[in-house]
Amino acid sequence: MTGNNESILIITGMSGAGKSQVMAALEDLGYFCVDNLPPSLFARFIRYKRLAHGELPKMAVIIDVRGGEDFYSFEQVLAGLTSEGLGYRILFMEASDAVLVSRYKETRRRHPLASSGRSVSDCIVEERQRLTEMRGLADIVIDTTDLTNRQLSAMIVKMFSENESEIFTVSVSSFGFKYGLPIDADMVIDVRFLPNPYYIEEMRYQNGLDAPVRDYVLGKQETTEFLNLYLALLRFLLPNYIKEGKKNLSIAVGCTGGRHRSVTIAEAIAAAFTTNGYDASLSHRDIEKGNKISF
């Protein structure tokens, strides 16, 4: 990412992941928005807007695989922006393969990579491969798997509204490793080293929000030492993230099944953020899974 008084938001990511919804929310915030701008025309377009307005308006541009072979000049575009002293941020949109397939079935839209005989699933796999490097360049990654259009719009307004431009947001979530890693986390913390309440009969079918489980996990010396060390690390990292222009941080806390230890620890971390004045959200991805057999 680069920062400057003149700055462009570049939106990219998976087809069907919500880029159009993001664009609509940004237009409501006063952004000048351009969809599917070929990378080869990027520099010419920027020069035109500067000449027409004296300086660039708040601008958001979608660049994705619809650009065909031209899409692969994306890194040259970024280098050109940097050489001109123009700031940019990259927002990458994604969702799970299953949800993307479902959205295409509901809308009956044609995938940009579709060709005769190819399934939507095959197209999604290829698109994700093509976008691997671009995702690595992203400043912000939003996973819309579990978001409604309204929730996504509210998130965009919160992130990009000028009235809240100085707010640094933190999202903390718990998950179970046996259900897979969350794909949108900036930091993943494995707390499977902590004593497991699952092996205590009366706690087995409770979760980390229940007082007996919470007190058991937080009452262990290992937990106290871990939280002290980890929160000290975050107290060092967050001001430096903010200094470099990062607007949000996603932390995922995992245990085996996502019902006991990870839930309690995620609650403790989010509470520490809130106590220190940060805007923190909290979710528990797998807390309702495996109610009968829980780890």
Q: Tell whether 95 is covered by a domain.
A: yes
Which of 134, 164, 194 is the last residue in one of the domains? 164
Identify the bridge partners of residue 88 per DSSP, sorted by sequence position. 2, 8
| Lowest-confidence pick of 2-6, 10-14, 87-91, 240-244 | 2-6
Identify the bridge partners of residue 11 per DSSP, sorted by sequence position. 62, 91
Q: What is the pLDDT of residues 192-251, one digit of tens each?
A: 999 999 999 999 999 999 999 999 999 999 999 999 999 999 999 988 887 776 778 999
User: Are 159 and 195 part of one and the same domain?
Assistant: no
Q: Which residue has the tokens 């899974």?
A: 289
User: Are 93 and 231 part of one and the same domain?
Assistant: no
Model confidence at 274, pLDDT cuts 50, 70, 90, reads confident
- Closest by CA to 175, choosing from 261, 283, 254, is 254
Q: Tell whether 240 is covered by a domain.
A: yes
277: containing domain: 169-284
Here the CATH number for the domain that contains residue 140 is 3.40.50.300
Task: Say whether pTM exceeds 0.85.
Answer: no
| Lowest-confidence pick of 24-28, 49-53, 145-149 | 49-53
Which of 164, 194, 222 is the last residue in one of the domains? 164
User: Are 63 and 86 part of one and the same domain?
Assistant: yes
Q: What is the pLDDT of residues 214-223, one digit of tens each?
A: 999 999 999 9
Q: What percentage of the chain has pLDDT greater than the value 70?
A: 87
User: Are 21 and 157 part of one and the same domain?
Assistant: yes
What is the C-alpha separation between 67 and 158, in angstroms, rounded?
29
Q: Is the pLDDT of residue 163 over 60?
A: no
226-235: long-range contacts, CB 8 A cutoff, minimum separation 24: 226/191, 226/194, 226/265, 227/265, 227/268, 227/269, 227/272, 230/189, 230/269, 231/269, 231/272, 234/269, 234/272, 234/273, 235/276
**Residue 185 near residue 251, CB atoms below 8 Å:** yes
Predicted local distance difference test score (pLDDT) of residue 88:
84
Identify the bridge partners of residue 248 per DSSP, sorted by sequence position. 169
User: Are 141 and 197 part of one and the same domain?
Assistant: no
